[in-house]
Structure 1
Amino acid sequence: MSKDQPAPGDRIKAKKSALVQFTSTTLLLEVFLVLFATMVVWALRDSEFGRGPLRIDSGAVIWVLGGVLVLVLLVLSRAQGTPAGRAAGTVAQLPVLAMGFLVPMMFLVGGIFVVLWIYALRLGSRVDRERAEYDAAHPETAPNVP
């Protein structure tokens, strides 16, 4: 018996969903993006340089809005196991992109993250589908599902 093949009776752990891993990771990265963008908005609140068309001069309002978006993204990163969680994650891309109205560079950076989100959805689904096909074709190496 080769090292690649499990011994009879070995318990094979179920693989984690690639879709959940990819989307959750993307949302967690967006948490850092929003946190840093909030710091930029706060630092530039008294400056004309780098400001977008929407102006928020209150530091408290800036931190509350940024903090709420950070918390929403954190919660959604843990809810990616359901279609509703992924739909909510898709909707959450809008306020991340809309931060460009506060700091114009966020249109570019937020747009990159929207592309990453779409790619995570497509690639994660494809990986999960290919894993399922492989497990169906090779039941001896498929995870034991109770």
Structure 2
Amino acid sequence: MRALCSTHLIGEAIVICLGALVAMSLTDISTGLLWAVAGPAALLCILLCGKLSAPWAVPAGWALQFALIAAGFVVPMMFVVGVVFAGIWYACVRVGRTIDAAKAARA
């Protein structure tokens, strides 16, 4: 599960940074405020990659997915992007757990 979810979180960090760039040109929100929110969110995605074995990591990943959906209030297209990434997160968690169970059964 860690490999799938880590790949997803790295992609999400990139999307958060790109979404902030889009928001800079489409909204009147200050650049400093955008990066004060987007920077730590992207950093949190990257840091969460290393903590995916912790029991709180998957719920934290869900919180990130909902935050990405909520970014749609700033850039409306982020509603769609957030829902797509939440679906991919669900698939990564579900398939990852299936793979982990198969590996444990084989061992």
Asked if these proteins are the same fold (TM beyond 0.5), I'd say yes
Q: 1:72-119 CA distances to partner (integer Å, 9 max, x unpaired)?
A: 111112111122112211222111111111111111111000000000
- Equivalent in the alignment of 1:6: none
Verify: 1:59 aligned to 2:41, yes or no.
no
Query: How many angstroms apart in 1 are the aligned matches of 2:5 and 2:52?
Result: 7
Q: Secondary structure of 1:117's partner? A: helix
Query: How many angstroms apart in 1 are the aligned matches of 2:46 and 2:104?
Result: 29
Counterparts of residues 53-132 of structure 1 (less than 5 Å): 57-132=29-104
- The partner residue of 2:2 within 15, 20, 33 is 20
Check the 8 A contact 1:27/1:77 in 2, yes or no: yes
Work out which of the two has the higher radius of gyration on C-alpha atoms and give 1 or 2.
1
Larger proportion of helix: 2
Verify: 1:35 aligned to 2:27, yes or no.
no
RMSD of aligned residue pairs (Cα, Å)? 1.1
Q: Secondary structure of 1:62's partner? A: helix
CA shift for structure 1 position 45: 2.4
Query: How many angstroms apart in 1 are the aligned matches of 2:30 and 2:63?
Result: 26
Check the 8 A contact 1:97/1:111 in 2, yes or no: yes
Check the 8 A contact 1:42/1:63 in 2, yes or no: no
- In structure 2, the gaps of 5 or more residues are none
Q: 1:52-74 CA distances to partner (integer Å, 9 max, x unpaired)?
A: xxxxx211111111112111111
Query: How many angstroms apart in 2 are the aligned matches of 1:63 and 1:132?
Result: 42
TM-score (norm 2): 0.93
Number of residue-to-residue matches in the alignment: 107
Query: How many angstroms apart in 1 are the aligned matches of 2:32 and 2:63?
Result: 25
TM-score (norm 1): 0.69
Could you list the runs of 4 or more consecutive aligned residues of structure 1 that deviate by over 2 angstroms after TM superposition?
none
Check the 8 A contact 1:22/1:124 in 2, yes or no: yes
Query: How many angstroms apart in 2 are the aligned matches of 1:28 and 1:86?
Result: 15
Query: How many angstroms apart in 2 are the aligned matches of 1:79 and 1:25?
Result: 13
